[in-house]
Structure 1
Amino acid sequence: MPAVVASASLFLAACGGGSDNGSDGGDGGSSGGAPAADALDKAKGVTTVAFWHAMDGTNAEQLTKLVDEFNSANSGKIQVKATYAGKYDDAITKYKAAIQSKSTPDLIQVYDIGTRFMIDAKQTIPMQKFIDRDKLDVSDLQPNIAGYYSINDKLNSMPFNTSMPVLYYNKSLFKKAGLDPEKPPQDLAAIRAAAEKLSKTKGGPADYGFGAAIYGWLLEQFIATDGKEYCDQGNGRDGKATKVLFDQPESVEVVKWWQQMVKDGLAANTGRDTKAAQAAFKSGQLAINLESTGQLGGYSKAAKDGGWELGAANYPHIKAGTDGGPIIGGASLWINSANHEDVNQEAAWQFVKFLASPKSQAAWHIGTGYFPISKGALNEPADVSYRKENPLFDVAVKQLEGTKLSKATQGCLLGVMPQARKASEDGLESAINGTDAQEAMTKAADSLKGQISQYNSSVG
């Protein structure tokens, strides 16, 4: 994923300075509290909610359906105008420019790794302010999803589109290799053992036993499943992180393992393009692949069209016996308060509540494959039917519900997280191409020191 590059001077101009003495426990907004609950009642005419999002294709079509449904139900009162702001990186870059020109939208969808920036920008009002004002029961939210966007149990933004990584495997190739298709590998040693029987270089039925994109998100998952943190300061939740930890032994162990797998012909080097690894798995070149739950639909179709059976299992651990779990990915919704009228903030909140409802989340899940943030969505009749038709999705449900919430599984909050992800990819790619694993990851981590320091200085 390309990095988002923002200079300290740009950030200072955008945020207008401000100080931060701690972890911003949910108080990233520019105002002291939520607007009055009756703000909409006092409004004249229709209140427009400008909503920037980063969804395209099928996801955009489903989002449009939800927007239309909300607008119809609130005709004459609220009108949501959804605008595609580009892919995640483009959207947040556009948002930074809008802060300077005081033209931010009422509501914006921002990817998970933009969370620290959104808190530090002090342009938004935390969702917790609305929740507390309305004494809203949010027990329906999946705790491991809400946990990513929370600090000290205070929700900064509302999760929306959520995905999780899982291990996909080709059951048909497992059978051909003499492996039990009902016992997928669940740690690095087991993946290697399976790849020894699956790979062509060892006389197996697949070109390669394993293959996944050189994607920093996957390395983050391995660190979390080992119960370790990706950055210091309690994964950036006890205070602003000052360094990344992906040069520590557990991460280097993963990199060494991956490096040796490629060297031994047991894993394909598909590069950084996730689509390349996806295509190789769909075509049967790879027997095991690590990917998002968002690929379940495409992989299921490929298996059906190709005449092979797809399997899915929990994301693997580095070693057997650890009790960590993977981190959610995706994006969340932020309500802007700086330079926005109370009535617009309240209207945006009404739309956010609609999107987070069980009914909306079930429709979103079915229409896109994204994980529902609502526990109740899984009990909606339409969602129950969907999962009966797509039983492998329950693997992700059980993985999410079985993951213990901790600072490790909440994920790292870091102002330069996009750059950190790219740096980890630089290190992994360098190691796969022959550099010593420890050397490669140390160099990658060191490359971020100046950027992290500059960012933290720029926000106080």
Structure 2
Amino acid sequence: MADSNATDEPVTIEVWLAVSPGDVLQGHGDPLAQAAESFNRAHPQHQVRTRKIEAHLLPEEVANAVAAGNPPDIAEYYSLSTQTALDTRAADGEPYFVPVERAIAGRAKILGEPVVVDDLLPAVRRHYSVGGELVSMPTFVSSNILCGNKAMLDAAGVTRMPQTWQELTAACAAVAKLPDGPGHAVTWPNYSWLIHMELAGQGGLLSDNGNGRTGRSTRVRLDSPELLDYVRWWKHLHDSGFYLPTEEMHYVTAMQAFLRQEVAFAVTTTAVAKILPDMARGAGFELVAGGLPRRDARSSPGGVLGGGSFFLAAGLPERRRDGALAYLQHQLNPQHAIARLDDDPNPMTSLPITETAYRHAMAGTWAEPFPGFRAAAEQVASAADTPAAAGAALGNFSNINLALTKAIEDVIRNGADPAIRLRAATEQAQAALDRHNAAALADPPRTPAELRAD
């Protein structure tokens, strides 16, 4: 939509929000919509309009809208879709999105809104940067935590939440010895983001060129020593009878098994952890939680954030561009950044995104919205300053991750050899990356065909 020549007519800014499939997580995206409402009140010369779209479909919807000539001004992509967004092309073959830091151009305020990019937690900023440049504005941050059944752990003599693989293995062995204990000790989903975190904790890379942070990823490797270490340990827990592979090896089925008290431990995402304590109490036990166990005490707690970020369309008229940039700052100002930590009506809870919000969350006077919140916040904030902890920027990440999780399922369920199976998965993943790069690097470049988010 072209800007009006009349300066008193509001400029409309179209913002597309990424929400859960079928919008099953009620409240997903609401803080961003509420920030739009407060922005509109503060800036009547601009009107932000939000639209919710299922996150896995949003990249395709944006590409289709670009082709049809009615794309959004701002679009929220899942955290693992950075390269997909960067390789989405306008009709003239130029990138549809411009890096946010480039558009801000060093300004301290935009339409009176203080620029907050320098307040981003360093680990969060690194995750959404490519080539040292912030490409998108974070909107939500999540991580993985380990939940425990307090009564079972007390009975087994487990006095603290395991912090390393060795400690978790020992705790599982103690739970297994309980005469009236559960059939298994632990479960977690076969989900790529969780696997990436465990890989990053060891300093392992998924791709070349600094995980795609210093240059485009052209080679992917799913059979690295670090990834094999993780899968072999996982297989050992399974073969020992400690690990429960739930029916779908999914977050939902893992937590269902935990709430049925079929296991003493389960890994889950902080995004929905706020609702779990009440669910555990309803199931008759107290939930405790800690950070995601890492390989050993020397390992980084990882990185590879979950959540999403806003990308800004390139080439917008000046008034609309500055209105969009001002909204990007407004939605993450101290008021909104702190409110997002514990929005009472909303079951979706973000970990701190900014230094201001982190200081608030770590203050002893502030009550955690769920057990393990501070452990997860510290886990994010203390991640090593490495390309591994930043996570990989990869094209066609969804199909790369599908190759990875299918291989691991074959190892866990069917006893496939980890090295052989992950080598085959690497070949599948490389083919997926090559298809993406063939389009992105064509002359002229074009938007790749496979865009679905993981």
Question: TM-score, structure 1 length as denominator?
Answer: 0.84
Query: Which residue of 18, 41, 54 corresponds with 1:54?
Result: 18
For 1:273, the equivalent position in structure 2 comes to 250
Query: Which residue of 282, 285, 290 corresponds with 1:313?
Result: 290
Query: Is 1:153 matched with 2:132?
Result: yes
CA displacement 1:32-83 (0-9 Å, x = unmatched)? xxxxxxx9998340111111111341223433322222222223x1111111
Q: In structure 1, what residue type is equivalent to 2:103? A: F
Amino acid at match of 1:427: A
Give the Cα separation in 2 of the matches to 1:244 and 1:83: 35
Aligned partner of residue 62 in structure 1, secondary structure = helix
Match of 1:27 in 2: none
User: What does 1:399-414 correspond to in 2, within 5 Å?
Assistant: 399-414=379-394
Residue type of the partner of 1:315?
Answer: L
Q: What residue identity is the alignment partner of 1:361?
A: A
Q: Which of 331, 353, 363 is the equivalent residue of 2:308? A: 331
1:355 to 322, 331, 345: 331
**3-state SS of paired residue (1:169):** strand
Deviation digits for residues 347-379 of structure 1, max 9, x if unmatched? 111111111111111122212311131221245
The Cα offsets for residues 297-347 of structure 1, whole Å up to 9 and x where unpaired, read as 122222333342322222211234223523211110011124x32322211
- The aligned counterpart of 1:10 is none
Contact preservation (8 Å) 1:185, 1:194 = yes
CA distance 1:143–1:382, change in 2 (3 Å): closer
Question: What residue number does 1:74 align with?
Answer: 43
Matches of 1:152 and 1:381, distance apart in 2: 30
| Match for residue 248 of structure 1 among 204, 207, 224 | 224
1:415 to partner: Cα distance = 0.7
Quote the residue 1:342 is aligned against. 318
Rounded to whole Å, the distance in 2 between the matches of 1:63 and 1:456 is: 32
Aligned match of 1:299 in 254, 276, 289? 276
Counterpart amino acid of 2:72? P
Aligned partners of 1:274, 1:313: CA distance in 2, in Å?
17
What does residue range 50-449 of structure 1 map to in structure 2 within 5 Å? 50-55=14-19, 56=23, 57-75=26-44, 77-86=45-54, 88-121=55-88, 122-135=95-108, 136=115, 138-180=117-159, 183-199=160-176, 203=179, 205-270=181-246, 271-323=248-300, 325-338=302-315, 340-367=316-343, 368-379=348-359, 387-388=367-368, 390=370, 392-433=372-413, 434-449=415-430
Q: More displaced, 255-264 or 211-220?
A: 255-264
1:458 aligns with 2:439: yes
Shift of 1:385: 6.3
Q: Name the residue aligned to 2:446.
A: none
Opposite residue 428 of structure 2, the aligned amino acid is S
Cα distance in structure 2, aligned partners of 1:381 and 1:274: 26
State the superposition RMSD in angstroms.
2.4
Cα distance between partner residues in 1 of 2:311 and 2:370: 31
Instruction: Identify the residue that residue 448 of structure 2 maps to in structure 1.
Output: none
Give the drift of 1:441. 1.1
Instruction: Give the superposition deviation at 1:207.
Output: 2.7
Compute the displacement of 1:132 (Å).
2.8
- Aligned to 2:56, the other structure's residue is in SS state helix
Q: Shift of the alpha carbon at 1:106? A: 0.7
Structure 2 unmatched runs, 5+? 89-94, 109-114, 442-454
Distance in structure 1 (CA, Å) of the matches to 2:284 and 2:358: 30
Change (3 A) 1:296 1:134: same
What's the CA shift string for 1:136-185, capped at 9, x where partnerless? 463311110111111233110001111011222222211011221xx222
Deviation string, structure 1 residues 250-284 (Cα, Å, up to 9, x no partner): 21122122223223321110133321011112232
Q: Percent identity?
A: 23
Instruction: Extract structure 1 runs of 4+ deviating beyond 6 A.
Output: 39-42, 381-385
- 1:195 Cα offset (Å): 0.9
Paired amino acid for 1:449: Q
In the alignment, which residue of structure 1 is the partner of 2:112? none
Range 133-142 or range 39-48, more displaced: 39-48
CA distance in 1, matches of 2:173, 2:214: 43
Q: Which residue in 1 is equivalent to 2:444?
A: none
Structure 2 CA distance for partners of 1:454 and 1:273, relative to 1, 3 Å? same
TM-score by length of 2: 0.85
Contact kept, 8 Å, 1:420 with 1:448, in 2: the verdict is yes
What amino acid maps onto 1:80 in structure 2? V
Q: Secondary structure at the match of 2:72?
A: coil
Residues 447 and 142 (structure 1), Cα distance of their counterparts in 2 relative to 1, 3 Å cut: same
Relative to structure 1, is the Cα distance of residues 130 and 438 closer, same or farther in structure 2, using a 3 angstrom cutoff? same
Structure 1 residues 409 and 297, CA gap change in structure 2 (3 angstroms): same
Unaligned runs of 5+ in 1: 1-38
Matched letter for residue 167 of structure 1: L
Letter in 2 for 1:132: A
**Structure 1 stretch 377-386 or stretch 164-173: which is displaced more?**
377-386
